[in-house]
Structure formats: structure tokens, C-alpha cells
Chain A
């Protein structure tokens, strides 16, 4: 049986790997195929800094909080494995800063060592009167995606470099299940007015003396519209742009200046950092993640589509929980078709 995955960002590749790991043994005839027009390093996931951190509030999406937790715990288990460095996985501690007290986030017990900032620590950040310190994880897309690709290739998954224009294109011919991980452009496959771009722009700088992430929050201007600094293994990402509805992937000089000025004000030590690059990307924003099954009549065929898109600015944070959920949906499809003798048990 063939499963076609549309999209080769973190969502597409991790869903493919999760399915491969869980079902290959149970279903030797399973053949996974990944279709995408952009592969690493040209996906949205490659541009993200890679910090595991959900938004401040889960807006009652408890399911998403659970997926975030599953992802963190999955990554934590891999921290001491020999693969960690190749995956781009490492611990990173840092600061979340506010101009007023805020309730603790849904993820306070998921990360390590969560606590409020002390007055002395707040002296570092004039203008901010409240904040958190915690240890989280970094998972750098530019390393993780190649690692996923290698694992998938080793397991016989086939990759196709093409822009998929319709579900019909990849279904049929024995492909009964399509995994729709098309991120920002899911609307081109099936209109979805709830999916909107959350445009971001970042500067990549050399500042290896910065060892902490610093994320500021302006509750009025919304998430990621306030400066942030995230040190990676090769360079440091400066950001603070979130423009809802803006489809442009061109770097804006105005945004560049705003990021640079606000980050240097936040962290004066950045003034001597060398800018080595810049990138704009579109966060595939949605009020909640679309992770569900849909039966579609495509021509004279019946196909099952598993949607897994709309992860906004927290794709890396939530990816494994969603991959497991997508695999569970596939499991129930296979069970219905009696292709599996018993309910698929997710292998942890």
C-alpha cells in the first residue's frame, strides 16, 4: 500500500518517519513517497531558529499542549543519543520578558527549571519588569531536516521533486492515503480561509558570546512582534516580526532596521555582532492546527486525506506530537480496511 506525503518541511518529514517506524514492521508492503517542490535548506522549517517554545497561551487547545509535551519529551530522550548533534538538538536556556506580570504558561512544567526572574536578573533588561527563566531545547531545521531525510532514505522512502497541484495528482495508482503537510500553501490544494500567513523576518548574525535565548513580549502587539534573540550552533537569530496576512517573502529594509535597533537596545552586547544573512518566511498560521482525516472523492477513486498543517510559529515545537497523531489516524484507516489484524499500537 502506498502513502503519499505532500510537503518536506519538518511536518512532512517527521510524519513520514513516524509512520515508517510504526508500520513498516506490521505492513511490509507499505511504500511511503514524499512529494515537495522545496526541500531543505529551502523550506520554512529551515529558516526558523528552531527553539522549542509554544505560544504564551494555548487558547484552550489542550490537544496542542499535549502534542507540545510529547514533542519535548521525545526530543529530551534523544538528547544523549549519538544522533543528537547530527539532528541539531541541544539544550538552551533563556529569558522570556514582559512589561507586566502574566500568568504562567501551559508549558511551565514541560520545560526544565521554569522559574520567575529575580530582581537582579531583571536589571539586565531595562523596560521589562517581569519574566521567566527556563531550560528548553533547540532543534535546528537546517540539521534536523537532513537527518530526517537520511533516515527516510535509509528506510526506502522515495522522494519526488515536484509541485503538487491537486490531491488527485498523487492519489490513485495504489495510493490510498495522502498526508497533506503542505504548510503555508495548503490553501492551493483545498481552500482554507482560516489559514493565513504570519510573515516573519530574521537577521542571522555572528555573536557567539550570546549563550541564552531572550524573547520579549508586547502583549498589545502580539506574539513575535517584539524583539527576540536565539543563539544557534552556527549563528544567532535576531527577530521580532509577525505580520498577519502579509504574503511577501522579500526581505524588508524597514523590518531589518527595526529588528536590528530593537535587538541592540535589548542586548547592547549585540552592537558588535556581524550580520551574515537575512531571511523572510511565512508562518502557516491557523486558529488551531488542522489535524484530521477527510475522505475525498478524487475522480472515480475514494482517497483518504490526513491533513496535518497550520502549525504557525510552533511547528518544530509541536511536530512529533502531530506526527504521532497522524500515524494514529493512518492506523485506524488501515484497521478499517482490515489491513491490520489488531489496532496499531504506537511504538514509542
Chain B
């Protein structure tokens, strides 16, 4: 058969990185990205983009570790190249602090980030309300830069991008051979996936260029993540909340919690509020499916449900999804050659 026509639906972090992987593993494919929204208006643009994994209860740990390792290795190389500033990738060191010592002192990713070790007594003095902490160095992907960099590489690889709201995957079956579903929270409306639910996150983006370290409370609610131009202060984890409107009371709460971890933030300027809905799921859905309708077949590769951990595993899941696209292509080629017989 002629080279496969692949449509990737969704142009957030997952859609763009998956599309890029597909151009790498299948250079002869014709690739189109279709999305209702592009950077800077995606959920990914709200996130700080820190490589600190979220643990999915229903994905095997060794898989999550592999995804994280692949992502870390990929971004590590970019951070140490001349492309680093354009791609928005940089190393950042800091501390994860706990009010009481956690059951698991060594998370599964501790040997992938750099220099992971428990904090010393002297270091903990900076956090009088916290008893235990971990110091390490990890990577941060700033958005929009990272998404724009992915878009640029996609264009260079011959991919096309169109703004289009896809209400039904079957809309695409005439023009495309394979659909890659990277719609994040949009998969709920598109597929009716009951396991997918929003976890609302509100953040502040502020000017505080003297803040050079990340600080994260191990409970996951309060964090300070310094990016290239702004510092992201967070946050909230509101399950099943669909509201994209910033809540002023929440902003005040976030600011106070962050100032108690880092008092110098009192001097932060130009506070901007953002809201995003983490597309959460007990496990990330990276899966092949063949949809059928009235004798027609539509191969679909799903890659959605990354919740709070999208940045940490994006390259790993993108590669896996690209692999599944490869399998779809083989299956199509197999059936088309069978059709010739």
C-alpha cells in the first residue's frame, strides 16, 4: 500500500511528542496533527513541566520507570545542547520536603534523577515545619517553548498541522488510515471513557528571578518551580472539578502556602493565574484498538490519561504509541496484500 496517512488528534505535549516519534519511526508516513487548541492554549501550557513522576496505581512500576528513564535521557541531551534555550529545557535542583517521614523514602525514580539523596539536618533548617526531605537535580520543560519547538521539528519533518475540533473519530476515516488519539481530557467527550476524570489544578506564574531552586511539599499540593522567565507556584488537586475559571481565594491560599516555604516570594511581581484540568486515569491508556462501524474498520492508537505526570513520561509513552502505530501499519499492509491474493 502507499505510505500510511496518520492523523494525530491533540496538539498538547502528548499529541506533539507522539507525532514527532511517529515521524522518527515511520519517516514515509504522511502525518497530520489536528487539534482544537495549540500552544499557548493547551493544558500542557499551564503545567510547570517538572520531571518528577506521578505514580499511576494501575500501570506496572517497571513500565513507569522505563517511560521516565526514556524521557529523562531524551531531555537531558537537549538540555546540554545549543537547542536548550529554544526548547525550554533546563536542569534545576531543589528539595522535596515532608512534614512527616514518608513510608517510601526512596521513590522508584530516585536513581534516574541526578544526585538524589536525603537532605541533611542543616538543609532541613530552612524548612522548620518539615521533618524529612530529599535533595536532587531534575529537568524542567518550559511551555510554550517546548511545544513550539516540537511544532517546529514536526514541520521540518513534513508534518502538517490544522486547527480542527474532532467531535467523532469516524469523521477522519475517509482521509486517514490510522488515528492517534492524544486528546487528553477531550477523550471523555470523544470516547465516553469513564475511567478518565479531571483533576483541576490552579497555579500562579510570578516574576521572582532570584528563586533558583524548586521546592515541593511531598503531599503534592504546594510547590515552587522556577522556569526560564517565571516561577510556577502551586497548587490544587481538585478531583472531578471542571471549572477553568481562576478562583481568587485559591490564589491567595497558594501564595500563602508557597511563601511559608520560601518567604522571599513575598517580593514576587506580576502574578498571573492559570487553570488546567489534569486528564487523570488509574493508568495511562497506551493501547491499540480497531473501531468498527457498518463493515468499516478504523485503526486507532490511544495515548491519553497522563494526569499529573504527563511531562515526566511523555517521551516514553510517545515511543510506545509510535510502536503501536507501526503495528497498525504492518497490519494494514498485511491485510492489503492479503486482499491482492
Contacts and interface: CB of A to CB of B under 8 A. Distances in A.
Interface string B86-101: 1011111100000000
Nearest to B145: A209
A40 interface: no
B85 A209 contact: yes
Given A84-B264, A112-B120, A212 B93 contact: yes
B215 to A, nearest CB: 10
Interface stretch (B74-82, B150-158, B180-188, B305-313): B74-82
B288 interface: no
Contacts of A272: 82, 84-86
A337 interface: no
A113 B81 contact: no
Contacts of A1: none
B142 to A, nearest CB: 8
Interface in A124-175: 124, 133, 135, 138
Contact of B267 (A85, A93, A121): A85
A133 B119 CA distance: 13
Interface in A257-297: 267-269, 271-273
A91 B135 contact: no
B209 A80 contact: no
A79 B122 CA distance: 14
Given A84-B264, A115-B117, A271-B82, A90 B210 contact: yes
B119 A121 contact: no
A212 B93 CA distance: 8
Interface string A27-44: 000000000000000000
Interface string A228-241: 00010110000000
A286 B119 CA distance: 37
Contacts, number: 97
Contacts of B114: 118, 120-121
Interface in A196-214: 207-212
A208 B267 contact: no
Contacts of B91: 124, 211-212
A269 B209 contact: no
Interface string B144-181: 00000000000000000000000000000000000000
A85 B137 CA distance: 24
Contacts of B212: 90-93, 211-212, 231
B209 A233 contact: yes
Given A82-B263, A208-B228, A234-B209, A115 B115 contact: yes
A93 B86 CA distance: 23
Contacts of A212: 91, 93, 212
Contacts of A207: 85
Contacts of B115: 115, 117-118, 121, 133
Contacts of A85: 210, 264, 266-267
Contacts of B93: 93, 135, 211-212
A231 B92 CA distance: 12
In this complex, the interface size class of chain A, counting residues with CB under 8 Å from chain B, is 35 or more
A120 B267 CA distance: 36
A269 B213 contact: no
Interface residues of B, number: 36
A210 B227 CA distance: 10
A273 to B, nearest CB: 7
A112 B123 contact: yes
A209 B84 contact: yes
A272 B85 CA distance: 7
Nearest to B122: A112
Nearest to B86: A272
A120 B137 CA distance: 11
Contact of B228 (A120, A124, A209): A209
Interface string B177-219: 0000000000000000000000000000000011111000000
B81 A268 contact: yes
A151 B36 CA distance: 56
A147 B319 CA distance: 53
A72 B290 CA distance: 64
Contacts of B209: 208, 233-234
A121 to B, nearest CB: 5
Given A79-B126, A135-B123, A93 B213 contact: yes
A232 to B, nearest CB: 8
A69 B328 CA distance: 65
Contacts of B86: 272
Nearest to A269: B84
B92 A211 contact: yes
A151 to B, nearest CB: 18
Contacts of B119: 113
B226 interface: yes
Contacts of A234: 209
Interface in A25-83: 79-82
A79 B84 CA distance: 31
A92 B81 CA distance: 22
A330 to B, nearest CB: 32
A309 to B, nearest CB: 30
User: Which of A80, A85, A273 has the largest number of chain B CB atoms within 10 A?
Assistant: A85
Nearest to A267: B80
Contact of A268 (B82, B89, B263): B82
Given A113-B117, A121-B115, 8 more contacts: A115-B115, A117-B115, A118-B114, A209-B88, A233-B209, A267-B80, A269-B85, A272-B82
24 contacts: A80-B126, A84-B263, A84-B264, A90-B210, A91-B126, A117-B115, A118-B114, A118-B115, A120-B114, A121-B114, A121-B115, A121-B137, A124-B80, A138-B210, A208-B228, A208-B229, A209-B88, A211-B91, A211-B212, A212-B93, A268-B81, A268-B84, A271-B82, A273-B85
Interface of B: 79-82, 84-86, 88-93, 114-115, 117, 119-120, 122-123, 126, 135, 137, 142, 209-213, 226, 228-229, 263-264, 266-267
- List the 9 closest pairs (A to B, CB-CB), nearest first: A269-B84, A209-B90, A233-B210, A90-B210, A85-B267, A271-B82, A272-B85, A93-B93, A80-B263
